[in-house]
Amino acid sequence: MRVCGERAPGRPWRVGVQHPFVRDRVAAVLEAPAAGLAVATSGVYERGAHIVDPLTGAPPSGVLSVTVAGPHLGTADAFATAAFAMGSDGPAWTASLRGYEALTILEGGRVLSTAGMAALRAGY
C-alpha cells in the first residue's frame, strides 16, 4: 500500500498491519508522514507457506510476518519478502536497511522492530 498527503487537513493517513492470529485485529497501526509512506507485508497467514529460503528450499521457521515501510513500494515489498525468507536472520538484516523500517512478528507472538519503526507507530 502507498499513501501520500493527509486524509484530512492535519490528519495523517494510518495504515493497519494485520494481526497474524486474530483476523479482525491489527498488530500495529502506522502513521504516514505527509511526504507519503509505502507499506508491504509478507507472511504465511493469507497464502500459506509460499515463500521459501533459497538456501534450503523450505519455508522459513519461526517467523509469521514481516512488514517493511519506507518511501518506495516495490522496494518495501522486496525487502519484506527477502526478510521473511531469511527467517530468524531477517530482523538483523532489516535493521541495516537505510530509509526503511521493519516490524517482524515471530511465532509465539514476539514482536521485533527496527529503531525507527517507533516513530511511525500510532497510538490506537
Taking only the tens place, the pLDDT of each residue in 93-113 is 999 999 999 999 998 888 999
What CA–CA distances, in Å, run from 123 to 48, 98, 118? 30, 25, 10
Q: Where are the alpha helices (DSSP H) in the chain?
A: 73-85, 90-94, 117-120
Distance CA 90, CA 1 (A): 21
Q: How many CB atoms lie within 10 A of CB 118?
A: 9
What would the CATH number be for the domain defined by 2-120?
3.10.520.10
Domain ranges of the chain: 2-120
Query: First CA to last CA across the chain, in angstroms?
Result: 20
- Decide the pairing of beta strands 26-31 and 37-43: unpaired
Radius of gyration of the chain (CA): 14
Q: Which tens digit of pLDDT belongs to each residue from 32-56?
A: 998 999 999 998 877 767 888 888 8
- pTM here is 0.91
Cell reading at 19: 494481526
